Structure 1
Amino acid sequence: MYLADRSAPSAPPADTQAPPDRGSLRTPAVTSAVLALGTVSLITDVSSEMVTAVLPLYLIAGLGLSPLGFGALDGLYNGVSALVQLTGGHLADRVRNHKLIAGIGYGLSALCKPLLLFAHGLGPISVILALERTGKGLRTAPRDAMISLSTPAELQGRAFGVHRAMDTTGALLGPLAAFLVLSVAVDGYDAVFGVSACVAVLGVVVLMLFVPSGGGAAVPAGAAGGGGTAVPARAAGGGAARPDPVRLRDAMALLRLPRLRALALCAVLLGLTTVSDAFVYLLLQRRTGIGEQWFPLLPLGTAAVFLLLAVPAGALADRIGRRTVFLTGHALLLAGYGLLLWAPDWPPLPYLVLALHGMFYAATDGVLPAAVAATVPGRLRATGLALVGTGQALARFGCSLAFGAAWSLWGTGPALAAAAAGLLCCAAVAGLVLRPAAPDAAPSGTPALPDPTRSP
């Protein structure tokens, strides 16, 4: 999701720009970098969601995997990505080439898709999924860093909302494509995996040809997202100043930022009680008796609502505060759990649950990185995003394991009730932790956050 090598970035580095005259230049609400990255995400998500839509049913109904086994595999699917996010974020900041690291991640994921055609056991599938998630982990932080570094601080909620809306368009089209392939193909699952591989390759090609490179790694913190002082620089022989290399201890020093610690803590707490999408769809199918042939279409409901509300939710977060929107999203998820547990068996139930599920993602998926980006210096933007994203994903990994075990031991009702109770408690704690924090993005003219890489 970045700029093409043969074209200039959508906006020059902020340290080379003179402060614009108010009213002389109007900053676009969404930059070309965001639109380019959204296009690559759209294509890639079509490929990924084709597999994700059929994988739970393929593993449980086709290979006879138990809920506990699926919980472990689903946790692995997300946990590997979480661990690699730190590596991807640090490498992107260190080499100052976000597109390169993101491109490696997209390429690795694309290479893994055709391997699913030859894997018909739990062991090989686990290895392939782990490699595919490694690619996702590598690309996530550099991609989000480029979005934040190309967007003014006051518009980052909207920018992430636009990107997530385009990404979710792919998430909507992927299950639909999987459903159509399953309907017409003889070897349905293999056909889904084959088509998914072709689409993934197309995403990598679009990234290489149309996404501009560079852009963002040398932007001073605060210029396109606030939250830090200008990058320390050295003048080489009186020439242009170059930023100091990013070191591992610089990344660890980010945890000295109180606001970042608070966001990371809340992301972890809430992730520990966020049941994975696959389990939500399996619970909904069992609760309502939806036929197996319709199962791949369930993610469409979530994706459609997410698509419609991602941009409005991001813009609302920019106006009224990201904390409020983020916590409201988890309240909506809690309402969805409540419907699955206690609502009567009536026809609108699946639509209501999927709508609440989509509203949860619209209010949280882009709002959290926008809030994180507002606290992290520009030269360490990918690393900061990776720190919070890793904590959240590892927490969800633990939730997948715990929920799968609870389902196997107690059944679906008690397992979901425990998750709902945990979510309610963690949301209350998150509200208290975030309440005294400073605003997500300081208005122009206010002092910048201290540089976490310098000693006090």
Structure 2
Amino acid sequence: MMYLSQARATDPSRDAAARTPAATGTRGDTARSRVPATVLALGLVSLVTDASAEMVTAILPMYLMYGLGVGYLQLGALDGLHTGATALFRIGGGYAADRFGHSKAVATCGYALSALTKLVFPAVGSAPAVGALVAADRVGKGIRTAPRDALITAAVPEGELGRAFGVHRAMDTCGALLGPLIAFAVLLAVPGGYDTAFLVSFCLAAAGVVVIVAFVRRGPVPTPRERGLVLRERLASLRNPAIRRCTLAAALLGLLTVGDMSFYVGLQRRLDVPAEALPLLPIGTALVFMTAAVPLGVLADRIGRWPLFLCGHLSALPAYLFLWLAPFTGWPATALVLCLYGLFYAATDGVLMAHISPLIPRAARTTGLAVVQTAQSLARAAGALTFGAVAVFSGLGTAFAVFGCAFVAAIVAARLIHRPGKNS
């Protein structure tokens, strides 16, 4: 349909300045100095929700590797499941938000589902049951992610999307940083008090639901014509060559991305970090991510979001190669690798959404964002499983070497596949 196929053929991050107040003088300077309340509220929701989730998941890699004794292949499979469990529900959540014209309500349902799982954790006592609850939590994340990002897009002028997503991701990452610390503090105050930790986790997640209900605006109300579009018609928006190429390039890069759990276990073993410190390694990444997300978001608005997205992947490349060669070990090497990994996330996570959001027509924006996120999540799940298999048969060092070398080719291919400003 022509209605859905209309999208900008140029890089929105380059020409937005001509269409927003930021290019017109002092009024633009004032506008740019403020972050919309909706973005801050959604950032606060993500902060407390991520703190809640990370309280539960911070010790998973150590528990799986050293408690249950799982191997690299099983860890890769679990890492892929953790990443991919959200994927298939993203499109459903995105379509529901577009179909009923209420992104806020769909996002709220996703946050509420994740909160409820925290209440059930103390009642289960088997690994399969815990796995089912983790999957349910990931389903909630899948439902809410695209509607949340659509709300951010609707609340911000196009030329400031990189900054807005950077602010949101920084607050989100602050929650990821606080979660393990809160869990540690609770268990220090109440030794063996896992039920207490789960209760605190639920309270944080419930607070997030209250904030989104009370302080986040509903967003634009779609017209009857926009509401009446079926899923097939909404997916037609992805026929735009720019959207297709961006999705393909992001999925290709995701396929060669090492899963987080495998990355941290590999770092701990290759750089001789004490096993007891494994749950603390994500904190280092989160600190860098939180610090760099806003400056890199602003930089993306100025130089172009897609170039920065590719440069972000160049930060992960030396981290992989370092874990292959391990030229020196210990805490200095660990700090360097975690810094590179944090820059990778800061330059890619929100920047991709800021780049592609304006390309998708409003009537299908949430569905389109969900499709891009689904492609990337499934690719990363496959990549995590593949890395685990290579590590089983060839060792961790070889696995990082293989992924590092393939990553170079993937970055070059992504640059060739998607060139903003080209519509054919």
* The structure with more helix, counted as a fraction of residues: 2
Shift in Å at residue 172 of structure 1? 1.1
Instruction: Measure, in 1, the Cα distance between the counterparts of 2:260 and 2:73.
Output: 15
Instruction: Measure, in 1, the Cα distance between the counterparts of 2:315 and 2:70.
Output: 31
Counterpart of 1:142 (choices 139, 143, 147) is 147
SS of the counterpart of 1:319?
helix
- Whether the aligned pair in 2 keeps the contact of 1:217 and 1:379 (CA below 8 Å) is no
SS of the counterpart of 2:59?
helix
Instruction: Measure, in 2, the Cα distance between the counterparts of 1:46 and 1:386.
Output: 24
- Whether the aligned pair in 2 keeps the contact of 1:54 and 1:178 (CA below 8 Å) is no
Change (3 A) 1:316 1:100: same
Instruction: Measure, in 1, the Cα distance between the counterparts of 2:389 and 2:408.
Output: 21
Shift in Å at residue 244 of structure 1? 4.6
Equivalent residue, structure 1, for 2:390:
406
Residue identity matched to 1:197: F
Counterpart of 1:337 (choices 301, 320, 331) is 320
SS of the counterpart of 2:256?
coil
- Whether the aligned pair in 1 keeps the contact of 2:160 and 2:298 (CA below 8 Å) is yes
Instruction: Measure, in 2, the Cα distance between the counterparts of 1:60 and 1:191.
Output: 25
SS of the counterpart of 1:374?
helix
Residue identity matched to 1:249: R
Residue identity matched to 2:170: A
Matched, 1:81 2:65: no
Higher relative contact order, structure no. (Cα contacts within 8 Å, ≥ 6 residues apart): 2
Counterpart of 2:220 (choices 183, 196, 216) is 216
- Whether the aligned pair in 1 keeps the contact of 2:155 and 2:219 (CA below 8 Å) is yes
- Bigger drift between 151-160 and 188-197 goes to 188-197
Shift in Å at residue 339 of structure 1? 1.4
Shift in Å at residue 114 of structure 1? 2.8
Matched, 1:301 2:284: yes
Matched, 1:248 2:231: yes
User: C-alpha deviations, 1:101-127, integer Å up to 9, x for none?
Assistant: 001100111111232323343321221
Shift in Å at residue 401 of structure 1? 1.3
Runs of 4+ in 1 over 6 A off after TM superposition: none
Shift in Å at residue 243 of structure 1? 4.1
Counterpart of 1:392 (choices 376, 389, 405) is 376
- Whether the aligned pair in 1 keeps the contact of 2:270 and 2:397 (CA below 8 Å) is no
SS of the counterpart of 2:360?
coil
User: C-alpha deviations, 1:368-387, integer Å up to 9, x for none?
Assistant: 00111020011211111111
Counterpart of 1:288 (choices 263, 271, 277) is 271
Matched, 1:367 2:372: no
SS of the counterpart of 2:58?
helix
User: C-alpha deviations, 1:117-153, integer Å up to 9, x for none?
Assistant: 2334332122111111110000000000010111111
Counterpart of 1:432 (choices 396, 408, 416) is 416
SS of the counterpart of 1:366?
helix
Residue identity matched to 1:344: F
Shift in Å at residue 399 of structure 1? 1.1
- Whether the aligned pair in 2 keeps the contact of 1:175 and 1:299 (CA below 8 Å) is no
| Counterpart mapping for 1:187-202 below 5 A | 187=192, 190-202=195-207
Instruction: Measure, in 2, the Cα distance between the counterparts of 1:208 and 1:290.
Output: 43
Instruction: Measure, in 1, the Cα distance between the counterparts of 2:88 and 2:48.
Output: 24
Matched, 1:312 2:316: no
CA RMSD of superposed structures (Å): 2.1
- Whether the aligned pair in 2 keeps the contact of 1:37 and 1:211 (CA below 8 Å) is yes
Instruction: Measure, in 2, the Cα distance between the counterparts of 1:48 and 1:360.
Output: 22
Q: TM-score, normalised by structure 1?
A: 0.83
User: C-alpha deviations, 1:383-431, integer Å up to 9, x for none?
Assistant: 1111110000000111121122222222211111121122111111001
- Whether the aligned pair in 2 keeps the contact of 1:341 and 1:413 (CA below 8 Å) is yes
- Whether the aligned pair in 2 keeps the contact of 1:54 and 1:189 (CA below 8 Å) is no
Shift in Å at residue 169 of structure 1? 0.9
Shift in Å at residue 291 of structure 1? 2.8
SS of the counterpart of 1:56?
helix
Q: How many residues align?
A: 399
Instruction: Measure, in 1, the Cα distance between the counterparts of 2:278 and 2:198.
Output: 17
Shift in Å at residue 24 of structure 1? 8.9
Unaligned runs of 5+ in 2: 1-19
Instruction: Measure, in 1, the Cα distance between the counterparts of 2:232 and 2:206.
Output: 36
User: C-alpha deviations, 1:188-208, integer Å up to 9, x for none?
Assistant: 655543432222122212222
Residue identity matched to 1:133: R
Instruction: Measure, in 2, the Cα distance between the counterparts of 1:106 and 1:81.
Output: 13
Instruction: Measure, in 2, the Cα distance between the counterparts of 1:189 and 1:423.
Output: 40
Counterpart of 1:93 (choices 93, 98, 109) is 98
Residue identity matched to 1:263: C
Residue identity matched to 2:270: R
Change (3 A) 1:121 1:244: closer
Residue identity matched to 1:297: L
SS of the counterpart of 1:348?
helix
| Counterpart mapping for 1:144-293 below 5 A | 144-187=149-192, 190-212=195-217, 214-218=218-222, 243-293=226-276
Change (3 A) 1:307 1:85: same
- Whether the aligned pair in 1 keeps the contact of 2:309 and 2:348 (CA below 8 Å) is yes
- Whether the aligned pair in 1 keeps the contact of 2:75 and 2:262 (CA below 8 Å) is no
User: C-alpha deviations, 1:210-266, integer Å up to 9, x for none?
Assistant: 223x21343xxxxxxxxxxxxxx56xxxxxxx6452311122202211111011001
SS of the counterpart of 1:40?
helix
Report percent identity of matched pairs.
48
- Bigger drift between 164-173 and 200-209 goes to 200-209
Instruction: Measure, in 2, the Cα distance between the counterparts of 1:346 and 1:108.
Output: 40
Matched, 1:115 2:98: no
Change (3 A) 1:24 1:427: closer
| Counterpart mapping for 1:38-53 below 5 A | 38-53=43-58
Shift in Å at residue 92 of structure 1? 0.4
Change (3 A) 1:191 1:64: farther
Shift in Å at residue 286 of structure 1? 1.3
